[in-house]
Amino acid sequence: MNRQEKQAAVREAINKVPLISSAAARLLELSGESEHGIVDIVNIVKYDAVLTSQILKVVNSAAFARRTEVYSIDHAVSLLGEDMVVGIAMSEAAALLFDKKLEGYAAEAGSLWRHDLKTAIAAKIIAGYARTKVNGDLAFTCGLLHDLGKGVLSDFLRNTPEKIRRAMEEKKVPDYAAAERAILGIDHAEAGYELSLNWNLPAPLPQAIRFHHQPALIDEALKPLLYTIHLADIVAMMSGVGTGSDDLQYTLDTAYEMYIPLSGNELAMVMLGVEQEFSKAAAVFLGKEEEASE
Ligand SMILES: [Fe+2]
Ligand SMILES: [Fe+2]
């Protein structure tokens, strides 16, 4: 297959990814609205039986160590908080992509989920340091979705990690996304963008996915959000939670400092906070990972 044919095949695969549930789509949309609360979340969740049972399962799991059983969805959602509910909804809605073994990136099953979850947590924390206000819930959601395109691209990148590693060593390509474009005519950010359009995700989610490695290219108004995601992605990789062969094979655009003025000390604090939040979240999602590895 030449590059044009490969690109067409990738597009076909993107179009074949099943739509996400309307509850998941509505939750993603809600995270971008400035005024929203737990009541709005409950109102979406309670009409989706699968999601409701999943949330009750998580809240009653060992990770939460509650002495009494939680039966009401209102109570469960308020105990879990918005981020966890969005996380549960997305991990179900896009399980096909999140849980698969990323052979094209030489990564284990579940790596994409862990990396996206860690980026989401980092993005929410970093959002708190942005010079112009960045919606933390929106930052979390963008983090959760930013690399979904890899779930599609992976199948088309089998046997390429070694080739890409050499090309990067010889400085033939500036970063991993450029290598993806050279091989397939499309990179994982563009693939994720097209997927998010198919899913009818509202702005700015598609744009955030598309430019997470090139934040300088987005409209000025979205730069604070984009640099938040961009930095969070690198923080997740630096902490050892990447997706395999492309780990840290991207350039950090240091212009983030204009939008997120973090001192070295503060960045260290952010990384510490991310570790703590991530280990809590990972414990909650552990049941899911164990199920996946069975
Ligand atoms: Fe990426
Ligand atoms: Fe990433």
Compute the distance from residue 206 Cα to the ligand 2 centre, in Å.
Answer: 15
Structural domain spans, the chain: 3-16+97-293, 21-93
pLDDT at 294: 47
Report CA torsion sign: 262, 219, 152, 100.
Answer: positive
pLDDT at 287: 57
SS3 251: coil
Give the confidence band of 283 by pLDDT, cuts at 50, 70, 90: confident
Compute the distance from residue 28 Cα to the ligand 2 centre, in Å.
Answer: 19
Compute the distance from residue 203 Cα to the ligand 1 centre, in Å.
Answer: 19
pLDDT beyond 80 at 2: yes
Compute the distance from residue 290 Cα to the ligand 1 centre, in Å.
Answer: 26
Instruction: Give the CA distances from residue 25 to residues 3, 158, 192, 201, 207, in Å, rounded to whole numbers and listed in that order.
Output: 33, 31, 15, 7, 16
Measured distance CA(40)–CA(194) in Å, rounded: 28
pLDDT at 66: 79
Measured distance CA(273)–CA(185) in Å, rounded: 38
Give the count of alpha carbons within 13 A of 160, CB side only.
Answer: 22
Average pLDDT over residues 1-30: 96
The answer to whether 253 and 227 are in contact (CB under 8 A) is yes
Average pLDDT over residues 222-231: 98
Q: Which ligand is nearest to the CA of 175?
A: 1
The model carries a pTM of 0.94
Compute the distance from residue 72 Cα to the ligand 2 centre, in Å.
Answer: 35
pLDDT at 211: 98
Compute the distance from residue 241 Cα to the ligand 1 centre, in Å.
Answer: 13
Average pLDDT over residues 71-93: 95
Compute the distance from residue 39 Cα to the ligand 2 centre, in Å.
Answer: 31
Compute the distance from residue 147 Cα to the ligand 2 centre, in Å.
Answer: 5
Q: Which ligand is nearest to the CA of 150?
A: 1
Compute the distance from residue 53 Cα to the ligand 1 centre, in Å.
Answer: 32
Compute the distance from residue 60 Cα to the ligand 1 centre, in Å.
Answer: 34
Q: Which ligand is nearest to the CA of 209?
A: 1
Measured distance CA(75)–CA(59) in Å, rounded: 9
Q: Which ligand is nearest to the CA of 153?
A: 1
Compute the distance from residue 186 Cα to the ligand 2 centre, in Å.
Answer: 16
pLDDT at 286: 65
Least confident residue range of 31-35, 97-101, 125-129? 31-35
pLDDT beyond 90 at 39: yes
Q: Which two tokens stand for residue 43?
A: 């109102």
Least confident residue range of 28-32, 63-67, 112-116, 165-169? 63-67
Give domain 3-16+97-293's CATH number out of 1.10.3720.10, 3.40.50.300, 1.20.1630.10, 1.10.3210.10.
Answer: 1.10.3210.10
pLDDT beyond 70 at 233: yes
pLDDT beyond 60 at 292: no
Compute the distance from residue 227 Cα to the ligand 2 centre, in Å.
Answer: 13
Q: Which ligand is nearest to the CA of 233?
A: 2
Compute the distance from residue 212 Cα to the ligand 2 centre, in Å.
Answer: 8
- Dump pLDDT digits (tens) for 69-78: 999 999 999 9
Mean pLDDT of the chain: 94
Q: Pick the residue with more confidence: 66 or 186?
A: 186
Average pLDDT over residues 242-267: 94
- Dump pLDDT digits (tens) for 111-169: 999 999 999 999 999 999 999 999 999 999 999 999 999 999 999 999 999 999 999 99
Give the confidence band of 62 by pLDDT, cuts at 50, 70, 90: confident
